[in-house]
């Protein structure tokens, strides 16, 4: 079990390093991440490398038993790179290159940048391969922005399309370029879309895939070198939860495990988002992950957030452990006195003194080591899976479909797909049920329940797989906008929900979007959905064929049509939700019905504000209970179980204090 901090020895005089390392050791830390922005310090001029300072820092740390993850430094290019090779700076839509001096300014197809990236990666890898302190690598930093519109990217985009489609006829067919006379007759005529809300949606979808691929290819250049030179080290990258730009399933294929940067918004009940992100971060590789950065104090680039309160950092830590984190670093060790992140506070303040936040981190590390043995080899084993589909994320960015918009969709801010995933995921979170976020197309046979909300891009084989999943006994949930588009973003020529019509026993002849302020009242037809919920935003006019109607619309013009249905198909069941609903209660009731149908029983039913997750291994189950609130909570738990943090046995009710954490061995 690794726990520690992101550390920047280059920000401080050498005379301070030993003090830092000793304080880290005293806190129980055994890992740091280093050097991910220190390119110019390691390669002060092209081809001349200087790793002496890093050797020294590593040896100071290693003396205190602290290991290191090294970052390839390509997320922030030295000034000399930009000066010698101006084409490495990304070009913006207006044809201006990005002004050097922030970070993430590079073009991913510039040959010079790729070669420079490979060279520094190779020099570092060869130099540090045998260093006993080094255990792993982080590629770059937070892959994603900016998109580049230079000629080189344009050529690479055209090449990518050629490799994907083979012929122009295929491109024209896949994009439906007979619309508005957009047929392309030479590869050179293919442009880069300037406006995601006005250009051909199929072209835009491919552009987003291409952009993601550019990041993946750039990382691949580095991982090939790292694997060759440092076969004993792991390779990871710091992902960003639900950040939409890069397909993290693809990016993680080259990694040993995923890591992510968790900056939960401090203040009140916002405990949910980090839980959802953690499930995705576990999902991208189907295994445990690391936290590479996590809030260690008030943070911001200009203004900053409130301070984590006593116990808050610790409960954020164990929330991630409960979702599968095996390694954990706080960002950052000490608040920097210089630069744009002066107020992105660390465990230590500007004064470098070990105060409350340091002490809390040390206590947390101690607790983590205490449960380390029990945690080793355990992971979250979910019986429910939810799809997470980048194609649908992107397709909804391109055409948001409903709400918060003019009909070009340009004002839509949040992503409809991500919102849909979270609506259901959040209800599962409230119910204390673990869920894996998985890539569509993956094997589903291990799951009793699959939720595929807003699965807008639905290639036929995927629809077939879902239909078979139900036929063979699975419980499936889909909802509005399911199966509208094929793999290249063309609308299917079928009555919705297309190939899933039999699994759901319905047909949808018409559908609509409901503007803000417009909603439809509904009427329950089952005790399972006892409320009168308001349908908002999106509305399918569902004709039940074989399905049972669980909820019907009340409005005169929707008589006889269903809002929510349930259908027996083969040995399984298909639930279809034709609208978004205003009330959390709708999702809570619905999820209760889904769990019942799928015969999934949570270990405990947590009270509001308490989260329950479980990790399992050969030696049993570890139940994590986390109080995300600032009031004590009582949780009904199995009695006579040991709380690994206190060593005490449980009674039938467990008391959790403010931000309290318990880990019960079941």
Q: How far is the CB of 127 from Zn ion (least distance, A)?
A: 30
Asked if 153 touches Zn ion (CB under 5 A), the answer is yes
- The residue written with tokens 């520094």 in the block is 120
The entry of ligand GAL, Zn ion, none that residue 153 binds, CB within 5 to 8 Å by partner kind: Zn ion
Letters for 298-337 (x = contact with ligand GAL by CB under 6 A, - = none) are: ---------------------------------x------
**Are residues 308 and 266 in contact, defined by beta-carbon separation less than 8 angstroms?**
yes
- Between CA 332 and CA 347 the distance in angstroms is 6
Letters for 408-437 (x = contact with Zn ion by CB under 5 A, - = none) are: ------------------------------
Asked if 142 touches ligand GAL (CB under 6 A), the answer is yes
Sign of CA dihedral 438, 439, 441, 442: negative
Q: How far is the CB of 343 from ligand GAL (least distance, A)?
A: 10
Letters for 62-81 (x = contact with ligand GAL by CB under 6 A, - = none) are: --------------------
Length of the chain: 666
**Is residue 87 among the annotated active site residues?**
no
Closest to Zn ion by CB, 162 or 285: 162
Count other C-beta atoms under 10 Å from residue 67's C-beta: 18
- Beta partners for residue 538, in sequence order: 513
Q: How far is the CB of 350 from ligand GAL (least distance, A)?
A: 16
Asked if 107 touches Zn ion (CB under 5 A), the answer is yes
Q: Which of 36, 43, 142, 611 is catalytic?
A: 142
Asked if 341 touches ligand GAL (CB under 6 A), the answer is yes
- Between CA 433 and CA 452 the distance in angstroms is 16
Asked if 140 touches ligand GAL (CB under 6 A), the answer is no
- Between CA 301 and CA 617 the distance in angstroms is 41
Of 226, 194, 197, 214, nearest to 118 by C-alpha is 226
Q: How far is the CB of 114 from Zn ion (least distance, A)?
A: 11
- Between CA 330 and CA 510 the distance in angstroms is 51
Q: How far is the CB of 152 from Zn ion (least distance, A)?
A: 5
- Between CA 428 and CA 405 the distance in angstroms is 29
Whether omega before 146 lies within 30 degrees of 0, making that bond cis, reads: yes
Letters for 218-247 (x = contact with ligand GAL by CB under 6 A, - = none) are: --------------------x---------
Closest to ligand GAL by CB, 142 or 611: 142
Backbone φ, ψ for residue 616 (5° rounding): -125, 150
Most distant pair of Cα atoms in the chain: their distance: 78
**Is residue 293 among the annotated active site residues?**
yes
**Are residues 134 and 70 in contact, defined by beta-carbon separation less than 8 angstroms?**
yes
Binding ligand GAL (rule: CB under 6 A), the pick from 261, 389, 479, 540 is 261
# chain residues binding ligand GAL, by CB under 6 A: 8
Closest to ligand GAL by CB, 131 or 259: 259
Closest to Zn ion by CB, 111 or 372: 111
Of 338, 358, 336, 361, nearest to 348 by C-alpha is 358
Binding ligand GAL (rule: CB under 6 A), the pick from 72, 105, 141, 629 is 141
**Are residues 459 and 400 in contact, defined by beta-carbon separation less than 8 angstroms?**
no
Instruction: Give the range of 61-69, 102-110, 360-368, 572-580 binding Zn ion by CB under 5 A.
Output: 102-110
Write out the two tokens for 451: 């939720």
Collapsed DSSP state (helix, strand, coil) of residue 520: strand
Query: What residues line the site for ligand GAL (CB under 6 A)?
Result: 141-142, 238, 261, 293, 331, 341, 344
Query: What residues line the site for Zn ion (CB under 5 A)?
Result: 107, 148, 150, 152-153
Residues serving a catalytic function are: 142, 293
């Amino acid at each position: 079990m690794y726990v520690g901090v992101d550390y920047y020895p280059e920000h401080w005089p050498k005379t301070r390093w030993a003090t830092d390392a000793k304080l880290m050791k005293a806190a129980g830390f055994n890992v740091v991440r280093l050097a991910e922005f220190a390119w110019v310090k390691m390669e002060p001029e092209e081809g001349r490398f200087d790793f002496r300072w890093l050797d020294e820092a590593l040896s100071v740390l290693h003396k205190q038993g602290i290991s290191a993850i090294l970052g390839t430094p390509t997320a922030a290019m030295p000034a000399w790179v930009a000066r010698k090779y101006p084409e490495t700076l990304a070009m913006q839509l207006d044809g201006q290159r990005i002004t050097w001096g922030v970070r993430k300014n590079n073009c991913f197809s510039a040959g010079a940048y790729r070669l420079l990236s490979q060279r520094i990666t190779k020099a570092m890898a060869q130099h540090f391969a045998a260093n006993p302190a080094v255990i792993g690598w982080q590629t770059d930093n937070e892959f994603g922005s900016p998109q580049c519109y230079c000629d080189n990217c344009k050529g690479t985009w055209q090449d990518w399309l050629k490799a994907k489609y083979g012929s122009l006829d295929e491109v024209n067919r896949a994009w439906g370029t007979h619309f508005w006379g957009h047929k392309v007759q030479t590869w050179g005529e293919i442009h880069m879309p300037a406006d995601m809300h006005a250009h051909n949606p199929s072209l835009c979808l491919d552009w987003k895939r291409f952009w993601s691929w550019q990041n993946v290819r750039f990382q691949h250049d580095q991982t090939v070198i790292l694997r060759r030179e440092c076969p004993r080290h792991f390779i990871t990258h710091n992902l960003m939860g639900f950040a939409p730009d890069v397909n993290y399933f693809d990016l993680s294929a080259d990694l040993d495990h995923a890591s992510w940067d968790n900056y939960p918004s401090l203040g009140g009940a916002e405990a949910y988002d980090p839980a959802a992100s953690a499930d995705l971060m576990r999902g991208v590789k189907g295994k445990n992950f690391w936290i590479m950065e996590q809030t260690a104090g008030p943070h911001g680039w200009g203004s900053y957030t409130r301070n984590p309160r006593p116990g808050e950092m610790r409960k954020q830590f164990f929330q991630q452990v409960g979702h599968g984190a095996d390694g954990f670093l706080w960002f950052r060790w000490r608040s920097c006195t210089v630069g744009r992140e002066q107020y992105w506070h660390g465990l230590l303040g500007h004064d470098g003194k070990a105060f409350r936040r340091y002490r809390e981190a040390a206590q947390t590390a101690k607790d983590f080591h205490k449960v380390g043995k029990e945690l080793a080899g355990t992971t979250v084993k979910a019986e429910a899976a939810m799809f997470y589909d980048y194609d649908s994320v992107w397709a909804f960015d391109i055409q948001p479909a409903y709400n918060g918009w003019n009909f070009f969709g340009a004002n839509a801010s949040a992503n409809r797909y991500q919102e849909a995933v979270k609506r259901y995921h959040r209800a599962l979170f409230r119910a204390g049920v673990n869920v894996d976020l998985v890539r569509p197309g993956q094997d589903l046979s291990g799951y009793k329940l699959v939720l595929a909300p807003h699965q807008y891009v639905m290639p036929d084989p995927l629809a077939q797989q879902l239909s078979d999943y139900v036929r063979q006994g699975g419980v499936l949930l889909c909802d509005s906008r399911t199966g509208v588009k094929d793999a290249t973003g063309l609308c299917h020529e079928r009555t919705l929900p297309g190939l899933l019509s039999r699994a759901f026993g319905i047909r949808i002849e018409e559908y609509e979007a409901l503007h803000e302020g417009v909603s439809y009242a509904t009427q329950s037809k089952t005790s399972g959905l006892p409320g009168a919920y308001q349908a908002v935003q999106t509305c399918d006019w569902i004709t039940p064929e074989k399905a049972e109607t669980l909820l019907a619309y009340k409005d005169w013009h929707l008589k006889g049509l269903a809002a929510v249905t349930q259908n027996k198909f083969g040995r399984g069941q298909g639930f279809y939700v034709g609208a978004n609903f205003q009330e959390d209660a709708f999702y809570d009731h619905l999820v209760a019905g889904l769990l019942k149908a799928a015969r999934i029983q949570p270990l405990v039913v947590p009270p509001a504000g308490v989260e329950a997750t479980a990790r399992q291994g050969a030696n049993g189950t570890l139940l994590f209970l986390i109080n995300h609130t600032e009031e004590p909570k009582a949780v009904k738990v199995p009695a006579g179980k040991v709380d690994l943090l206190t060593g005490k046995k449980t009674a039938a009710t467990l008391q959790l204090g403010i931000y309290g954490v318990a880990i019960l061995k079941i």
